[in-house]
Amino acid sequence: MRNFDVLLWDIDGTLLDFAAAESAAVKSLFREFRLGECSDEMVARYAAINKRWWESLERGEKTKPEILVGRFEEFFAGEGIDAALAPEFNELYQIRLGDTVAFHDDSYGLVEGLRGKIPQYAVSNGTVTAQTRKLKNSGLDRLFDGVFLSEEIGYEKPARGFFDAVFAALGPVDRARTLIVGDSLTSDITGGVRAGIKTCWYNPSGSANKTGPQPDYEIRNLSEILAIL
């Protein structure tokens, strides 16, 4: 491509609609655990808790095992549900997350169209169980040149160690000609800035940037990436 040699894609919230998968997973498990109906309002409360716990992971305040179970413990306590169910609920939740696949902006067609034109890699903080399942079910695993998961690397985005491990695996790559595309300012954009690569913030809702890190590019639709590349 004219401007870049390597393209790094975030998965949840970028190529795939994480909110849809999250809602379907939580609601299906409420039925399976016989916890009653899980309303959209309850899912929204869980999503807010989940976001806060993941941000604490990105800041290095908690470990992944702590946040995976802790978010459900907090959610269940607030809903009057036995928090002791959290570990088992989370274990099955990782599997259910991969059962619902919804693409953002025909992301599958976009990645497929770029295949062979620029090396494309997935970079994700999601668990191995959830990400492996959703990548397989979406078909994206057959399009990427490689997949990098924080759980396997040992570092979470935005840690410099995550990106150092990625580039160690890729071999000689000009970081100035590497672009990461993601929806998270605190994870993808902050991590990209720390790693010395170019960053593109996927911001479909047009949210204001109140977190500090400034992306090199900002897009509302994933197809806009073609003009940047």
Annotated catalytic residues are 10
- Tell me the β-bridge partners of 103: 16
The answer to whether 180 and 192 are in contact (CB under 8 A) is yes
Structure tokens belonging to residue 59: 């800041």
Which 3-state string (H, E, C) describes the chain?
Answer: CCCCCEEEECCECCCECHHHHHHHHHHHHHHHCCCCCCCHHHHHHHHHHHHHHHHHHHCCCCCHHHHHHHHHHHHHHHHCCCHHHHHHHHHHHHHHCCCCCCECCCHHHHHHHHCCCCCEEEEECCCHHHHHHHHHHHCHHHCCCEEEEHHHHCCCCCCHHHHHHHHHHHCCCCHHHEEEEECCHHHHHHHHHHHCCEEEEECCCCCCCCCCCCCCEEECCHHHHHHHC
Q: Which one, of 66, 23, 69, 64, lies nearest residue 42 by Cα?
A: 23
Phi and psi at 166, nearest 5°, equal -60, -50
